[in-house]
Chains A and B, each alone.
Chain A
């Protein structure tokens, strides 16, 4: 179980933290490192390098930290966009 979870909205162009391109999160394990995940269109979480890339100026879009409540709203926004159960992934 992570000790802390930090959410980030993926924004760029005319997309804001309310209408982002995506949602990523960092799971921190006290003293044992961290791992990063992104929300996919089937509403599963999968490893992402987006936060690490952003730290190095390599990520295409901006990341804006959001609260857990804001993250929940973003997921609801994506349910409206992608359907309540998401969309099957091509891969």
Chain B
């Protein structure tokens, strides 16, 4: 079982799928290599020994069967039980693409297969080349237009720059508190992804522009820049056996430091992602996000499914590829060990904090 050293480094690990160590692979071109590659293919893959007509595909297991099965988009965004916990049960059999005979298989043994599947996916679906012409010649002074053609009006841009400036100012103090929480927590919670705690300036502007243009057009610029939760993001990782205790312990420590939780979403019953995402506000009304992961779920999020997720978000991605990406991500997350009693951690929403 990998230990903490196997977590993405806090000092420079990029969001790239880890490469498979050569020693773990059969000799390239050997029968063993061919068998492994074929066995690793999705059941619907045309080269898979299990590939048949579409009806065969429909009858396959939950994780190979596409989005029309349990866990598909119908669950996304369904009426949320704002204060209740996830509806599923702890400890039930996980839907995996392996069978019960595969007792020696776990998330970490499957990582090379996931990487191989991704390599084959990229071969089948080369990245679409953006054909975007960014013309700033007619944009008013003070506006912003990003490389993806997202646009901020001068007023929106001023607000965006203000929030970016305040984030940069607040981050050092918040980070100091977070480090103290890491030191003081009693459940072995460790920070991960430290180098990525600040969202890049252009990415933040893109996010604000996306909300204003398409996703939340009836929100004011002030609403949007205030509500952006993840301009500062931290991640705590704990082992599945102490995950639940760590959540409450770290939450209590953060509250003792004066932070208030305004949002918590338990994603452990979801199929496309697993973890708990929480949002916090400081006494100065600065928001930040804190994610709770296990080493497995953080690795799955950061190293295995980050690029597939980015492709899914890309407007140039073909609809069919988007479906395949959903199948892949669901497959990866289905292999995670579920933290003990994690469904007992409820979702939480809090009203807006009083304006300062």
Contact = CB atoms under 8 A, between A and B. Distances in A.
A34 B217 contact: no
A69 interface: no
A88 interface: no
Interface of A: 6, 8, 10, 12-15, 20-22, 24, 26, 28-29, 31-35, 38-41, 46-65, 78, 81-82, 89-91
A12 B227 contact: yes
Given A13-B352, A52-B309, A61-B227, A46 B214 contact: yes
Interface in B27-82: 54, 66-67, 73-74, 76-80
B321 A33 contact: yes
A90 B153 contact: yes
Interface string B303-330: 0000001001111001111111000000
Nearest to B145: A91
Contacts of A59: 215
Nearest to A35: B319
Contacts of A90: 143, 151, 153
Interface of B: 54, 66-67, 73-74, 76-80, 143, 145, 149-151, 153, 207, 210-211, 213-219, 223-224, 227-230, 265, 267, 270, 272-273, 275, 277, 291, 309, 312-315, 318-324, 349, 351-352
B219 A22 contact: yes
Contact of B217 (A32, A40, A56, A65): A40
* B79, B145, B149 pick with most chain A CB within 10 angstroms: B79
A63 B80 CA distance: 8
A33 B275 CA distance: 26
Given A32-B320, A34-B319, 19 more contacts: A10-B215, A21-B215, A21-B218, A22-B218, A32-B323, A33-B318, A33-B323, A34-B323, A35-B319, A38-B214, A38-B217, A48-B214, A49-B210, A51-B77, A55-B73, A55-B273, A64-B77, A65-B78, A91-B145
